[in-house]
Structure 1
Amino acid sequence: MMDDRIPEPFHAGELRAQQLAGGGPPGAPIRSRMPEQHRQFFPLLRFLCVGVADASDWPLATLVHGAPGFVASPDPGRLRIDALPDADDPALALVTDGAAIGMLGIDLATRRRNRVNGVIARAGDGGLLVDVNESFGNCPKYIHVRQLGPVTRQAQPVETFGSELPADAAALIARCDTMFVATSSGASLHGAGLDISHRGGEAGFLRLDGNVLTVPDYWGNRYFNTLGNLLLQPRASLVMVDFGSGDILQLQGLAEVHWQVGDQARDVRAEREWTFRIARGWLRRGAFPLGENLSPSLI
């Protein structure tokens, strides 16, 4: 049986990042179609992390949500999402036919996560259909265990801002232990170059100094999808959630990878770090309709 593995799955930026980091992975099961276990995984989810981009290739990270089953796979080469970004989400206008898209399915209760990158075959009527270009899993490291369930929220008007963060946005970053980052390689080897991935740590692992956010990079699968994209295209986007209030913070900015961590680094686990200079953002209060049933823990 063919496993649909892509023989040479890494683009030039990822290969360069692996070289700068001292080596890539021993193997890379990145497929052009979803294996059965991934097709069975996505329908279990209540939310999905999504990365899209505008006409100038600025990525924008967001979250879409629905009851379990709102994401499904009609066949190994497609995902159907019966949801769109919220009406006040700046990402909504970017979800269009033919647009590149990166998606991360993550179950915080079980620490499972799988990624799909592809192209939107059809958008509208409350959802979208995605043609899969790349499908691969990630390890469970640095994921905070959370049991999430539906809660009633009262969404507030969106606060849009530039490089100067509102106090509530800075406070959310200080509390954050779970973040998602969308990046783009531009035109990649296998078509769409968008990707969205997870970053996690104890509250405070993200260091904010003015409008510059420093993100530690821990030991991982050594694919370097995110950092490889940033070597080719420094524009990136972050999204993070306050699981207590339901506030969603979306940021766009310019990233720079620092391959050597100096003695001043506060996080001893960091092998390297990258900085993110905030250009603009959106604070959507009460926009996330899921809340915690148990206290989080980092495993």
Structure 2
Amino acid sequence: MYCIKQYFGLLCLLLFTVNGLPFPNGNKWQEPTLNNRPIIGILAQDTSSALGRTYISATYVKFLEQAGARVVPIRGGQPEEYYIRMVNWTNGALIPGGVVNFATSLLGRSARLVYDAALKLNRNQDYFPIWGTCMGFQLLCYLVQGDNLLKRTDSANISWPLTFTPDFKSSRLFGQAPENIIQILSTEPVTQNEHHYSILTKVFETSKLGKFFKKLSVNRDRKGVEFISTVEGKEFPFYGVQWHPEKPNFNWNTHYNTDHGPDAVRVSQYMANFFVNEARKSSHRFPSVKLEATNLIENYNRTFSSDDTFVDIYYIDPRDT
């Protein structure tokens, strides 16, 4: 009987480890927490539009909502205390794709403050995941490295399958993925790339990035230059994809070469489900239902362009009048 109990205990520990529920931080393990009302903050980024100083593309909002999360915008140009509050009141953060200056933009400052607050929480065993897509991934790398390591690549408006590294099998992101998802990602061009700069593999491996992140996949641009396409934090629940998992389901801009087929949609849903499940491990809550309600994305104006771009965005921070 003792042997059976001992075997059962060991089996449970292995299952928790493989599933990525706890994560190592020194010699401690994070106990999983289940929160079925997750709220994720999306960082608003700079825009020159007369309709606002910052915006959030509705595709990222829908991406998270399809997996059962709600969204609050994380505004730009706010006091430092605001970002600490938002990290402590939400269950995760998403840094979207786009084009900004990492050092001088409102988004760059917001990302730095959210990243610093998230690091502090996770080091204190308070689970708080971060997701970076395209530029959001690049910005995460900038924050980890403390420098911009991006190099020019020919990688815009094209979809590829992923080339997985051996580490993908032991990762939180892909280690327990259904076999059909791995098959689709490794053989079909379902990952939409929209970037002119990348973190090259050789740069990644000789920088701080290789110590902080686990390399899960790479790709080669049109000229054969290899770059990093998917990573996850070794000690922290931070994730970065150079490609756009939200586009197959929610971006219908005819200028993009996006696969909207059922396999691409399955991948998008898997990635959203994964990150929202990560957010469910956070027990953070807003101090009151009223504060929760007044911070949700639904309080902001959404604008749709009914032309061949199908651009659908929320304007967040108003322009000074």
Structure with bigger helix share is: 2
Determine if the TM-score, normalized by the shorter chain, exceeds 0.5. Answer: no
Larger radius of gyration: 2
Instruction: Normalising by structure 2, report the TM-score.
Output: 0.26
Between the two structures, name the one with larger relative contact order (CA 8 Å, sep ≥ 6): 2
Structure with bigger strand share is: 1
